[in-house]
Amino acid sequence: MSVHSYSRCWLHLIWGTLNREKLLNKEAAARVYRYLSEYVETKSVYMKINYVNADHVHALVDLPTGLAIEELIQLLKGSSSHWINANNLLAGKFAWGRGYGAFSVSESNVGEVAAYHRP
């Protein structure tokens, strides 16, 4: 990434558990929330919200100039599923489902999206 590059590209990302099974109880969801919050900092990604439900996640991120949407999703889903399994957060093997949703959010609507997804 060039030091001369700047972007402000807000994305509302959504992805679900395999078969949209309600696998993440409140404690597990809270731990995944904390993990994602800490993980994105190591990748220099600003995440305004991440809301972990029993069967899906919502995240509002500012996409860095050096990452494509697909790369960011791979990082988030791949690292979190690995972390969930490595920490035996759930009985059995955990996996996110295939695919994701990615929706652009205008700067003027960031607050509204963030407020809607606050627990």
Whole-number pLDDT of residue 83 = 98
Query: What is the SS3 assignment for 27?
Result: helix
What is the C-alpha to C-alpha distance for residues 68 and 24, in angstroms, rounded to an integer?
A: 28
Residue pLDDT, tens place only, 43-100: 999 999 999 999 999 999 999 988 999 999 999 999 999 999 999 999 999 999 999 9
Strands (E), the chain: 10-16, 46-52, 56-62, 101-105
All domains of the chain, ordered by start, with CATH? 10-116 (3.30.70.1290)
Q: Which of 44, 87, 47 is nearest to 66 (CA)?
A: 44
Whole-number pLDDT of residue 3 = 67
Amino acid at the residue 39? Y
Rounded mean pLDDT of 2-6? 71
What is the C-alpha to C-alpha distance for residues 10 and 56, in angstroms, rounded to an integer?
A: 19
